[in-house]
Amino acid sequence: MTVYAIDSCPALLDSQSKFRFTNLDIVSTLWSNELEDALADIPACDLNCAFGLMHHIPGKEAREAFLDTMLNKTQINGYILVSFWQFEHDKRLSHKARQTTQLALERYPGLKLDESDWLLGWQNEPAVLRYCHSFSNAEIDELIEHVNDRVHLVERFNADGPNDDLNCYLVLQRF
């Protein structure tokens, strides 16, 4: 069995890993419409997972394009597993996101964010900001609808955090 890993941080894999690693900034290739080309050497797989990624992809169209690519890289009857961070469900995280975003907007007044787009710090580094989108159930429903003609929704559940509601997970099967 061959396992493929795609990320822009090779340090995530240790030297003992038996993955075929592709060093790729997925978001940048989505913006330039080059993701499919960048993944041309990777065959369709039985299982594709994207955990902790969707909330870093800005814009509905880019998120739809990423799901389309996941489906194109999944064999018929294969599975796609995706998580959607819903950090606005947590008062502490929501408050932190609002504070950090306000400071960022003061620093970068031309910054444009969509609804539920936020900037969060990274590991207590005040100068390091990361884009994060907090998904509503309606947005997740829309993404499911976008791929509904090509997948069967096997499972949808929430987990993580003190109330088991910080992430929504989807298990999709391609047909």
pLDDT grade for 127, boundaries at 50, 70 and 90: confident
Q: CATH classification of 3-86+135-174, choosing from 3.40.50.2300, 3.40.50.300, 3.40.50.150, 3.30.110.70? A: 3.40.50.150
Phi/psi of residue 70, each to 5°? Answer: -60, -45
Whether the Cβ atoms of residue 6 and residue 24 lie closer than 8 Å to each other? yes
The residues of the chain that CATH labels 3.40.50.150 are 3-86+135-174
Average pLDDT rounded to a whole number, residues 43-65 = 96
CB-count exposure of residue 29 (10 Å: 0-12, 13-18, 19+): buried
Residue 29 has pLDDT above 90, yes or no: yes
Average pLDDT rounded to a whole number, residues 109-136 = 91
pLDDT grade for 14, boundaries at 50, 70 and 90: confident
Q: What is the reported pTM? A: 0.92
Q: What is the dihedral of CA 95, 118, 136, 64, to 10 degrees?
A: -160
Output the six-digit token pair for 172.
């999709």
Q: What residues does 80 pair with on adjacent strands?
A: 48, 172
**Angstrom distances, CA of residue 88 to CA of 92, 98, 107, 149:** 9, 10, 23, 30
**Angstrom distances, CA of residue 85 to CA of 2, 43, 76, 80, 167:** 28, 28, 27, 17, 5
